[in-house]
Every structure is written in C-alpha cells, then in structure tokens.
Structure 1
Amino acid sequence: MIDRILPAKAVAVEAFEDPPEAVLLPVEAAAVAKAVANRRREFTTVRHCARLAMAKLGVPYVPLVPGERGAPSWPSTVVGSMTHCAGYRAAVVAHATELRSVGVDAEPHGPLPDGVLDAVSLPAERDHLAGLPSSVHWDRLLFSAKESVYKAWFPITQRWLGFEEASLEFATDGTFSARLLVPGPVLDGVELRGFEGRWLVEDGFVLTAIAVPFA
C-alpha cells in the first residue's frame, strides 16, 4: 500500500498484524524491556519489516535501536523510516547513494482529538484545510505529513523541527508541499527550503511519504 506513494528507489515492507516470527535482537529487546506489551509488539513488528526491507536491498540487518530523539540508528549505507499505528506497521529503506533521506508516517483515517489541530498547525494551514473537499480528514493528514517532514528532516540535520516551523499545503492529486520556516541546511551548494511529498488514504489509514533526492 505505502509503496504507491514512494519512488522506485525505495523499498517498503508493511504488516497489518504482528506475525509470530517477528523477533528482536538482544540489544533491541533491551531497549523496550520496560515498555508496555503493545509498545513492544509494534516495536518488534516494525523492525521485522525493516529486516525484510533491508534484505531486499541486499543489506545485512543490524540492530535498529532508538538513538537521538528516538530515531532508529540505520547503518551508514542505508536511509530509512519506520511508522506504526493501530493495525499497521511499515518500514521503508533505500541505499544511501540513491536517496538523501526518507520519511513516512501512517495514522488512522479519522479526525484528530479536540484541540490537537490547533497545537500542530498554523492559522494559514487551518484556513487551507477548510477549503479542501470534506471527503478526507485533512487534520489527520496534516498531522501525518508533519511527522513525515520531521522524519525526512532529522537525518539530514540532526536538529529538532517543531510543528510550527514548516507550513504545508495539500493538493487533491495526492501530493503535498512543505515550506520550511527556519533556515535549512545547505546541500550541494543549495539551501534546503522545503520538501515535496505524497499522500494516500486507503483501507482506513492515512499514509504520507517524503523521499529526498540528490540534486
């Protein structure tokens, strides 16, 4: 499903349940030893997906333990992103020579809880969403897309990016753009000013993806 919004250079593996063959390496298990059962299950399955995705690239699997701000510690030869929500887990990887970064997110296709939209959006974004067709829960899509923006941003910069530091706009053709409101890094002599992404609503889920190419 998520592969429909990814470039051919990226490999995705997704799961809609937690398979019994999904297991963690010891150092990964230690990272969630004190977590609740549901957290351990989603942590395990999404790494199972990552293991299968990396195998498709011909890359040996290494422990994906949470690093700074919880981001998984991918090997230097790989860029990747993982996401999970109730009923869905996915991992996306690509060779580090093929893509600069990737960020994906999945959410249930339903409205955000009261008060959350105001906390994660700018006034201009709320005005933009109000003018879009009502068939999509755009508030949830905005939240998901901002998660994908952060996941694409952090591996490049190793810096935090707040919800208020990027302004997003959606098109009904399944694309979106994110304009950075803070200085971006200089990549190949050009300042990164934003991201282009894709979105999909399918089977009760909202999916968003950003793949950052090389110049």
Structure 2
Amino acid sequence: MSSVLEFPREDHFLIASHALKLQGFDGAAWLCRFSVADFRPHHFCLYQCDFPEALRTAVPSRWAEFLAGRFAARRALSDLGAGSMCPPMAADGLPQWPELASGLVVGSISHSRDWAVAAAMTSSALFGIDIEHKADENTVAALWNMVLSPAEQKLISRLIVDSGVADKSTAFTLAFSAKESLYKALYPKLRLGLEFSDLTLQSIDITRQQLRLKLIKPGLDVGAEEMVVHWQDRGSAVICWCSPTA
C-alpha cells in the first residue's frame, strides 16, 4: 500500500505538492494542487482522512477543497514530527491541531479553486494563512468599495502608479487576502467575526513583500498596534500569512 504521504498510483485528484518557504515563519508549509473534476468520495479513504459530518450536505467541490487542504496540513505536520495525522474538524469548524512533545501546534489552512495551502508550527502565537486567485476586472469592480475604505483605495491607486509593477487586480487581491489571513489568525483569540472595515491597510512594501494593517474596531486588543502580513505572488494567485502575536 502506498504511504499516506504520497499520491496513490493512478490517482489524478492530487496533482502536485511541494514545501513552501514562508518569510518570517518558523514552521512547515505545503502547497497542493488538486483537480476538483477528478475528486471522488472514496478519496477520503484513499488518503486516510476522516470525513467530517458537518460537510455531509456540502457540495462535492467543498469536499475536494477540504481533503486537499487536509493533505497539505498532513504534509506540514509530518515535517514537524507529527507522523501522518490528518487534523480533524473541531466543533467550531476550525482545524484541530495536535500537541507535540515540542509544544502545541498552531496552524492554518486555505484553498482557492485548484490550490490548497497549509502551514503549522509549534508556538503560542496566533497564525493565519490565505490563498486567493487574482480577482478579475468584474470582481474588483464589485468588491472594491466593500473591501477597501476611501483611504485604502487611494493607497492602492498610489501603489499602482508608483511601483510600476503592481496592477489593480494584484493590489486589490493582496489587500483582500491580507485581511483574510488576519481574520483567520485573530479568530481563535477574539472569537468573533470581523468586517473588512475593522482592519485598515496602512502600507504596502513591494520590495519586502509586506503589508501593514491595523485593527480599528473599538474594544478589541490584540497586543499590537500594527500587524505585518507577508505575501508571495504565485502568478495566478497570491498567498498571504501573518502571526500577529509572534
């Protein structure tokens, strides 16, 4: 039988996977490409991952995303010495990360279309990761005012002019993904949903591939005035990650 960390022979659901090096992140991360069209329910057995009852009524594409994300998470956990465990879904819907001899694992999983990414580390810090395919012109137009404040729109527009390398689609997607990664990092601590307007984009550094954001929702304290989000441009998609209490 094939190792659970390898693609079973003659299976076309999982296309490729590889480790990621993430700036400012002392842990393990994996990126996985998968085929929704080639997903079948038996893949949960094939990859030895428990099917969550919470997804029983979900569409098959959601099952495929879940399994691909768990496969990437399993790769990351294996690199941390956790063997071949697949993190189950907790009652709140979040991944249930294990505790190792080296400490409690914190991690995050994200997916977009045919890509899934997961990262994990042993730490008491918060952590969030997000992957987004670059928004097309219609999506940017539809979400521009919902995701970005007037001040953020000016910052994005100035970046496009000044940098000479960022286009509107990439810049918008970066801002969107950065906020998503911070939401995911902060949720385990705050235990409440945040709006796009609760986080404000302060700056974007193209050279360092960093964004700085500030939580402006009254009454919330995350122990940092500004929070740094790192990113990678993957061509058709961007990956953002952050550890606001690291």
Q: TM-score range by the shorter chain?
A: 0.7 to 0.9
Counterpart residue number, 2:89: 65
Report Cα offsets for 1:118-156 as digits up to 9, x if no partner. 112211111110111263321111111110110111123
Q: How does 1:1-215 map to 2 (within 5 A)?
A: 3-18=20-35, 21-26=46-51, 28=52, 30-59=53-82, 61=85, 63-68=87-92, 70-75=93-98, 77-97=104-124, 100-111=125-136, 113=139, 114-133=141-160, 135-136=166-167, 137=169, 138-168=171-201, 169-173=203-207, 174-182=209-217, 183-185=219-221, 191-214=223-246
Report Cα offsets for 1:100-130 as digits up to 9, x if no partner. 0111111112336132121122111111101
SS of 1:117's partner is: helix
TM-score with structure 1 length normalisation? 0.84
Change (3 A) 1:67 1:177: farther
Superposed displacement of residue 2, structure 1 = 7.9
Q: Matches of 1:162 and 1:91 in 2, distance apart? A: 24
Structure 2, unmatched stretches of 5+, are: 1-17
Superposed displacement of residue 23, structure 1 = 4.2
> Which of the pair has more CA radius of gyration?
2
TM-score with structure 2 length normalisation? 0.74
Report Cα offsets for 1:149-194 as digits up to 9, x if no partner. 10111123223222111111311121100111024436xxxx3323
Superposed displacement of residue 40, structure 1 = 0.4
Q: Matches of 1:62 and 1:140 in 2, distance apart? A: 30
Q: Output the amino acid matched with 2:142.
A: G
**CA RMSD, 1 decimal:** 2.4
Higher relative contact order (Cα pairs below 8 Å, separated by 6+ residues): 1
Q: Matches of 1:23 and 1:203 in 2, distance apart? A: 32
Superposed displacement of residue 39, structure 1 = 0.6
Superposed displacement of residue 71, structure 1 = 2.9
SS of 2:117's partner is: strand
SS of 1:91's partner is: strand
Farther-moved stretch of structure 1 (55-64 vs 41-50): 55-64
Q: Which consecutive segments of 4 or more residues in structure 1 shift more than 4 A?
A: 18-21
Q: Quick one: percent identity of the two aligned structures?
A: 24
Superposed displacement of residue 73, structure 1 = 2.9
